[in-house]
Chains A and B, each alone.
Chain A
Amino acid sequence: MLVDDFELHASAAGLVVGRLTVSDQTYLHLKGIRIVGGTHDGKECEVAILRTTESPWVPQAAVHVRPHLVTMGQACSQASPVGTDWQYLSRRFDKAPSPRGFLAHIFTVLAEL
């Protein structure tokens, strides 16, 4: 999987995909994500994913979310370099490296909060 593959897949899945640049780092910015399941079921949030360009793409072991969804420090969360209104959720991704699999991972992370 290349990062471009994921970007295309997320767009094709109906998400609004943009980019954010913060301190020389570029993030994929997924807007209008509706959380399905968990304590935030039905809420809408934004997700940022670090955009790196190695081959194959290795997603960062983190999902950045806005607004904050848990008390900072709980559920493996910490301050996000994307901004103070963002929250860094530390999560490993070791499953099948497909765009579909990684998008499912993001939704699962949100649903498990």
Chain B
Amino acid sequence: MHGYQAADFECVDFSVAFTDAIDRNLAQHLAKGRFQEDLTFAYWHPSRGASRYTAILHRLALPDADGDRLLQGNVAFTAGYLERVLSQRPADCGVALLHSHLGPGWQAMSEDDVIAERDRLAGLVASTANLPLVGLTWGTDGTWSARFWLRRGRHQYERQWASTVRAVGRRLRVSYQPELRPAPPSPQSQAATISVWGESTQQDLARTRVGVVGLGSVGSIVAEALSRTGVQHVALIDHDLIEVRNLDRTLGAYPEDAECKISKVLVSKRLVDRSHTAASFMAEPVIDSLLGGDGLAHALDCDLLISCVDRPWPRHALNTIAYAHLIPVVDGGILARVSEGGKLVHVDWRIHTVGPDRACLYCIDALRRSDVALDRDGTLDDPEYIKGLSAAERERYGRRNVFAFSLSVAAHQVLHAVALVAGNERVGGTGPQTYHAYPGTMEVSARQECGAECDVAPLTATACSVLG
């Protein structure tokens, strides 16, 4: 019996993801000099989005020093090693075979590679794990290539190349399949941008699939910045409609949009469809909450998410996605304090990136569990409850904001996103940032890791269900 059908994967974009820690471990194991390849097996969890299927490597099953493989320039695994890997497979995990080649870049497969994966392994793995075999090849420059072997009939397995392989840590490093995700041209309209961070960074940035969650005051600006910067594929996720009260803070929104109750997503799409500088551009409208099935599924299609929501419950979900599904999240928030007389007393805003090798929203005190619980219950929408809170707490839930604050937060969120893709802290800073409008200082937190008791970091690479 095979628990999957090839039909389940029609029109699916395949990807593989793992943490930077696993990537480093693999590089150490696979780099055997100029004349020797090597291999290992690994276990993976499936992460399924609306159109992308990702194998998230959870754990390596490294070979023993001797006896598990035959090293003669090229490399082969022994039957004993394979038997051990299959028998020790954790429940609900798939199996991947990873091996090295002796050249750089995205690797094609030799006839021996195909025989090993398609003829020796694909059927055995499919019947044992009820999941397709995943094969990966490591190039000497650290580029990964990957494919899935799908059962098409009795003893028939067909290769589907992954379009991307993502290594996620302090940096988001993505290897692109050159035909499925070719490097885009550098149009004249991006000349100034490329002159700052270079063509290579621009090509990586352009091909990064970015999801903007929340298309309000901050999100509408973020979407515009991404499109002008040259990002080719942006998913716009929000369930809300434009109202008159949004017009002082939402880029691209007009009174007639409020009158006609146009979706925030469609307002933003209208804007970025005209302003983008990429030769090929797609703004994918997702008129749903992140907490709805469609919103969450489209978020899981992205390489990087920018959180422009201020509600605790969706931010909790984004925090989990960042670790469990290896999709880093750039988050931000604004706290404006106003006196009882209605005068601005102080304003702070903060920007941070969460995901593997970084502290989560709880550990940097950007989110409180009890707020998440109250938001989930609907309590934060209960005026009676809010009325009974202390002045400080009421302020925290006040969500006061003006366009200029949003501009600043959006700018820094985009810079964090660029830094993550470019691997350049000189763009986005070294850690979580808090800006105090008075006296006008930006603080950078030294905290880089979750605390020992955090229950989010242990979910890393588990691809667990986010909402249950």
- Asked if A93 and B369 sit within 8 Å, CB to CB, the answer is yes
- Asked if A55 and B373 sit within 8 Å, CB to CB, the answer is no
In the complex, whether B376 has a CB less than 8 A from a CB of chain A is yes
In the complex, whether B442 has a CB less than 8 A from a CB of chain A is no
Contact pattern, B 325-351, Cβ under 8 Å of A = 1, otherwise 0? 000000000000000000000000000
Nearest-neighbour CB distance to chain B for A82, whole angstroms, equals: 14
**What band does the interface of chain B fall in when counting residues whose beta carbon is under 8 Å from A?**
20 to 34
- A56-B320, A98-B455 are known contacts. Are A61 and B370 too (CB-CB below 8 A)? yes
In the complex, whether B466 has a CB less than 8 A from a CB of chain A is yes
- Asked if A60 and B377 sit within 8 Å, CB to CB, the answer is yes
Partner of A58, one of B324, B372, B379, B454: B372
Within 8 A of A (CB), among B356-414: 362, 368-370, 372-374, 376-377, 379
Number of A residues whose C-beta is below 8 Å from B? 18
Partner of A97, one of B324, B455, B467: B455
Partner of B369, one of A53, A55, A94: A94
Decide if the interface of chain B is mainly helix, strand, loop or mixed: helix
In the complex, whether B179 has a CB less than 8 A from a CB of chain A is no
Contacts of B377 in A (CB 8 A): 60-61
In the complex, whether B465 has a CB less than 8 A from a CB of chain A is yes
In the complex, whether A22 has a CB less than 8 A from a CB of chain B is no
In the complex, whether A106 has a CB less than 8 A from a CB of chain B is no
Nearest-neighbour CB distance to chain A for B291, whole angstroms, equals: 10
Max chain A CB contacts within 10 Å: which of B320, B464, B465, B468?
A: B468
- Asked if A55 and B466 sit within 8 Å, CB to CB, the answer is yes
Enumerate 17 A-B pairs (CB-CB under 8 Å) in ascending A order: A53-B468, A54-B316, A54-B320, A55-B459, A55-B464, A55-B466, A56-B320, A58-B369, A60-B376, A61-B377, A92-B368, A92-B370, A92-B373, A93-B369, A93-B370, A94-B370, A97-B455
Q: Residues of A at under 8 Å CB distance from B?
A: 1, 52-61, 92-94, 96-98, 101
